[in-house]
Amino acid sequence: MSTQPRSSRWSAGPWPTGGRCLSRSCGGRRSGSARAVSRHEWRGRPLCAPALPPQCCRHRAEFRRWHVGRGGRYVRRPNHVAVADIWRSRGGEMIILAISNQKGGVGKTTTTQHMAAVLGAEHHSRVLAVDLDPQFNLTKAAGVDVDHLTASVYQVLVTQAATLRDVIQPTEQGYDIAPADPRLGSADIELVSAGRVNWHLALRKALATLGGSYDWVLLDCPPALGTLTVNALHAAHGVVIPVTPELWPISGMQLLFGAIQVASAEGNPGLEVLAAIPTMVRRGKPHTGMLERMQTVFEGVPIGPSVMLSDHFQSAALAGTTVIHRSPSSAAAASYRNVTEFVVRAVEARQRRPATRILVGA
């Protein structure tokens, strides 16, 4: 019997049993019996699933969103809702998230890039990533040639010589990007010294011109609490904080919490910290102890799934892509799928309650 099912047998099954997992990246042996799956169900599966229902241990974690339903067929779990459907069912509101931490090197850009890739490439949402960092790492990671940029976020926020629609570019990673360039480094001086009224609302006004063009907008904030981060906090509905499980990044959170509280009090009362995401986590007692400390520092803030340190991220960066595209079956890719789903659920929970105060370290 052939180990690769013909498309004509998809609707009837059964999937072949025994042998090895047919996913190209996995050499694990399959155990147990495979089940039948309808053509309609399998075509509608989450894109994180491999080419066949995995029977090996390595892929089972990625298959938890499916279960064996009636007739022994794989079906979606009832609590698994397509991400795009959540917001389109609520009237198409554009959700704006600030990915922020005043500490550098904690994974803000990686988190922004991979959340955008999961939402855009795998859940088919309309996603815009806005690079607010003068180091323009997200712009480079998205494959944009900074040397040939005619306009960037600098012209939108500082000189007002372009609109946000003018600078947006598509990427091959499933989302659009509003690129940055090094001139954003002078934004702290230029925005304030120009005497502009309500300079802290420049980004909010720019995003308002997009209307309902996007389902999600992810703001990659710089590693500082300057004017660009202040603009992001006044424009966002929620904040996602990537943080490494180390002493100084965790201890310095009160400064960021204070900036969020100020933005909430000055005109963005619905702003909340939706999640703190542990990144670059290593196995061992030191990081385990720091993760426990996070529960105290981030009291009142949901702690999301951990993103383990992995060589897959560096390999994907060198290839100019994401682990979602380069190593879709890896644990690194699965971790950002889990992070994205966690944040989506947090946003959905926020939508169900009145926006009256911010929940940070309370």
Region 81-94 average pLDDT:
55
Does a structural domain hold residue 179?
Answer: yes
Does a structural domain hold residue 8?
Answer: no
Residue at which a domain ends, from 60, 80, 100: 80
- State whether 177 and 74 are in the same domain: no
At 216, which CATH number? 3.40.50.300
- State whether 69 and 162 are in the same domain: no
User: Range of 327's domain?
Assistant: 83-351
Q: How far apart are CA 320 and CA 142, in angstroms?
A: 7
Does a structural domain hold residue 104?
Answer: yes
Residues 6+ apart with CB under 8 A from 262: none
Residue at which a domain ends, from 80, 110, 135: 80
Does a structural domain hold residue 5?
Answer: no
What does the pLDDT look like over 144-162, one tens digit per residue?
998 888 899 999 999 999 9
Question: How many domains does the chain divide into?
Answer: 2
Does a structural domain hold residue 7?
Answer: no
What does the pLDDT look like over 34-84, one tens digit per residue?
444 444 444 454 444 444 444 443 344 344 444 444 444 444 443 444 555
Copy the structure tokens of residue 81: 């809702």
pTM of the model: 0.74
Q: How far is CA 331 from CA 46, 124, 142, 248, 337, in A?
A: 16, 22, 22, 27, 10
What does the pLDDT look like over 173-231, one tens digit per residue?
999 999 999 999 998 888 887 677 889 999 999 999 998 899 999 999 999 999 999 99
Query: Which of 309, 314, 313, 315 minimizes the C-alpha distance to 284?
Result: 309
Does a structural domain hold residue 92?
Answer: yes
Residue at which a domain ends, from 41, 63, 80: 80
**Minimum mean pLDDT among 8-17, 65-74, 179-188, 273-282: which range?**
8-17
What does the pLDDT look like over 310-359, one tens digit per residue?
999 999 999 999 999 999 989 999 999 999 999 999 998 887 776 543 33
